[in-house]
A and B are shown apart, each in its own frame.
Chain A
Amino acid sequence: MELVCPAGSLPALKTAVDHGANAVYIGFRDSTNARQFSGLNFNDPRAAEGIDYAHRHGARVFCAINTYPQPDGWRQWTAAVDRAARLGVDALIIADMGLLAYAADRYPDLSRHLSVQGSATSYEALRFYKETFGIRRAVLPRVLSVDQVRHVARASPVELEVFAFGSLCIMAEGRCYLSSYLTDESPNTRGACSPAKAVRWQESAQGLESRLNEVMIDCYGDGEAAGYPTLCKGRFEVEGSVYHAIEEPVSLNTMDLLPELAAMGITAVKIEGRQRSPAYIRAVAGTWRQALDRLAAGADRYAVEPGWSHTLSGLSEGGLTTLGAYHRNWK
């Protein structure tokens, strides 16, 4: 199985390649990709340098252009496809149907991967994207259980990539407008969820409050670790009880499932986090490389090393990891 790692910057890209990534995915420095953070992502010269570095070290580069262009942004998004093609990336990661059609028409020989934002959760949906746009690979949303992934994999007309580690989206990706309901930006429109520009921290008598466009997402008492106010991970009130009504701040970790994912024919495992530092990428990529190498040596001898779990837990939201929807009880 391939290890696909995030690269939000050139140092992160080189680190990922040096520590065992088979492929890295990048985005341009604008809202054409789903991780729009200030100071993050690539301009053309940096992208060219990164692609050259990856190729010289035997790794591939995928370019995410996976937000949804509206009429006033259409030219910017198609220009991003043109730029990626000109730079010589190995694949485009796209969600929007119009943009997939554009890429298929202009660059038929450049591989197209369906972004997780394209929300394909069944083999029939995959068949739609394959027959309509000739996609080669799809990234599956994090809403399917292991049995469901197996079922999709059995009949999938394309290669499958699944999320292995990192932040956990509780909602079907590409089908969540919660962020634009509270702020004016969503993953689909601007490549941003709970954008930093809308975040405000405030000390009050109750504790440390985190707010998103003035809406209280959480309030932390003494000794409680405060987390970024991603809106679905706050504590809210439902029928008088206050709790993480949507999702706890935890990270996805599927290392235990690697042999199963390999057996069902999954092509690649994906690490989330283009917003993360090179140090994070080094630790995560290195750990997953070891796990994949161990798996390649024989699935019967595969076991997750305590050291690997320790490393990954330390890099997780709230120090906690979950199998997420892969484990049916989570639902």
Chain B
Amino acid sequence: MLSLSLGPILWFWSRQSVFDFYAEAAEWPVDRIHLGETVCSRRRELKLEDWLALARELAACGKEVVLSSQTLIESEADLRTLRRLCEQQEFRVEANDQSAMQLLIDQGVPFVTGPAVNIYNSATLKILAQRGLQGWNLPVELSRQTLEALLAELQEQGLVLPVEVFAWGFLPLAWSSRCFTARHYNLPKDRCEFRCLQHPDGLSLRSRESQELFRLNGVSTLSGYRYDLLRELPSMAAMGVDAVRLSPEWQGMAEVVQRFDAVRRGKQPATDPLQLVEAPPCNGYWYGQPGMASA
């Protein structure tokens, strides 16, 4: 059966909100939970020790816990944090850039990669597997067709590398050294007053015709619509996808998990008639179309 994986929280939530969220998540039918701050080094409501404590609690509830690294590494301070993450050997690490990969290779420990690591072909997987890669995420812009070809090549080469596919939520699409939330408030990044806390699901960026385009979230930019591959779960399971990633949101996450769980268990049809009245889903990438398209 497909595993359900909860991605790292991409937004900036207060310490208490994070604890509350995971207290609930511990009860959800998700198999894997990713913890850690992957977007901005200024977001320090939780420190590594806090994440580790949380990880132990969730592991005790039967969850597989993975610690995710910061996506864009810029400073020595970032590297210091990253080293501490990579040197702990209690939990597996999801490397989100080559800095993390190198540190994990130095440690000689196996690792997995997140969706922002550019894995577009099996030659890349092969060389990373030789260095400790044990699982990976499909980059969000790649299609089902590309994944099928990749999985076929892996099988030919006898490589066993479970793949996770981002299947629900706002897609993380870009990282910058500029903070777009601080820019919106005319604040310098270094004195941002942590305005992201006021926007637990980001700032909506629309065209001048009010079309939802992107979500600004600190230094990261996400899709304006939620990606949703719920109806693809049966076909993903059939093609050999190991897990689907659901990206945490402030509200309604329990229902999302329930829906995905019901569909993966075949207890509910993959196409939900209620979908029609919700915001238009975007799933174009999966079908080789523009990401924002609804296919």
Question: A residues touching B (Cβ–Cβ < 8 Å)?
Answer: 68-72, 74, 95-99, 101-102, 118-122, 124-125, 127-129, 131-132, 143-145, 148, 151, 170-172, 174-178, 180-184, 186, 188-189, 213, 215-217, 219, 235-239, 242, 245-247, 325, 328-331
Task: Contact check, B97 vs A178: say whether CB atoms are below 8 A apart.
Answer: no
Which B residues are CB-close (under 8 A) to A242? 208
A71 touches B121 (CB 8 A): yes
**Interface of chain A, main secondary structure:** mixed
Asked if B79 CB lies within 8 Å of chain A CBs, one says yes
One of A72, A120, A177, A178 near B149 (C-beta < 8 A) = A72
**Contact A121–B124 (Cβ < 8 Å):** no
CB-nearest residue of chain B to A99? B123
Instruction: Judge if B211 is at the interface, Cβ distance under 8 Å.
Output: yes
Chain A positions within 8 Å of B184 at CB level = 238-239, 245
Partner of B208, one of A129, A175, A237, A239: A237
A-facing residues in B212-263 (Cβ within 8 Å): 213-214, 216, 221, 223
Residues of B contacting A: mostly: mixed
The 4 closest A-B pairs by CB, nearest first: A98-B123, A71-B149, A181-B291, A143-B177
Q: How large is the interface on B (under 10, 10 to 19, 20 to 34, 35 or more residues)?
A: 35 or more
With A236-B205, A237-B208 given, name 10 new contacts (CB 8 A): A71-B122, A71-B146, A124-B73, A125-B97, A148-B74, A151-B75, A172-B72, A216-B208, A329-B188, A331-B179
Give the complex CA separation of A97 and B97 in angstroms: 12
Tell me the chain B residues, 87-137 only, with Cβ under 8 Å from chain A: 97-99, 101-103, 105, 116, 118-128, 131
> What would 19 A/B residue contacts be, using CB atoms closer than 8 Å?
A72-B146, A72-B149, A98-B120, A101-B127, A122-B74, A124-B73, A131-B102, A143-B72, A171-B221, A172-B177, A177-B174, A178-B173, A178-B221, A180-B285, A180-B290, A215-B211, A215-B213, A246-B221, A329-B188
CB distance from B14 to the nearest CB of A (A): 21
Complex: how many Å from CA A121 to CA B82? 13
- Judge if B140 is at the interface, Cβ distance under 8 Å: yes
Partner of A245, one of B72, B102, B183: B183
- Give the number of A-B contacts (CB < 8 Å): 208
Closest A residue, CB atoms, query B183: A245
Which chain A residues lie closer than 8 Å to B127 at the CB level?
97-98, 101, 132
Q: Once the chains are docked, how many angstroms separate the CA of A120 from the CA of B72?
A: 9
Residues from chain B with a CB closer than 8 A to the CB of A118 are 98
Contacts of A181 in B (CB 8 A): 141, 171, 173, 223, 285, 290-292
Q: How far is the CB of B83 from chain A (nearest CB, A)?
A: 9
Query: Which residues of B lie under 8 Å from residue A171 when comparing CB positions?
Result: 174-176, 221
What's the Cα separation between A122 and B82 when bound, in Å? 11
Is the CB–CB distance between B73 and A122 below 8 Å?
Answer: yes
Let me know if A70 and B149 touch, CB within 8 A.
Answer: yes
The chain A residue with its CB closest to the CB of B83 is A124
A274 to B157, CA, bound (A): 38
- Closest-by-CB residue of A relative to B148 is A71
Residue of A with least CB distance to B293: A184
Which B residues are CB-close (under 8 A) to A148? 74-75
The answer to whether A175 touches B290 (Cβ under 8 A) is: no
CB distance from B152 to the nearest CB of A (A): 8
Choose from B131, B141, B216 the contact partner of A186 (Cβ within 8 Å): B141
Q: Which residues of A contact B291 (CB under 8 A)?
A: 177, 180-182
Decide if A237 touches B205 in the complex (CB within 8 Å).
yes
Cβ of B99 and Cβ of A125 under 8 Å apart?
yes
Residue of B nearest to A244 (CB): B183
Which residues of chain B come closer than 8 Å to A172, judged between CB atoms?
72, 174-177
A186 to B139, alpha carbons, bound, how many Å?
13
Q: Kindly identify which residue among B120, B126, B285 contacts A188, using a CB–CB cutoff of 8 Å.
A: B120
Looking at A120, A183, A184, the one whose CB has the most chain B CB atoms below 10 A away is A184
Asked if A124 contacts B79 (CB within 8 A), the reply is yes
A121 touches B173 (CB 8 A): no
- The CA-CA distance from A242 to B99 in the complex, in Å, is 37
Report the separation of the CA atoms of residues A186 and B101 in the bound assembly, to the nearest whole angstrom: 25
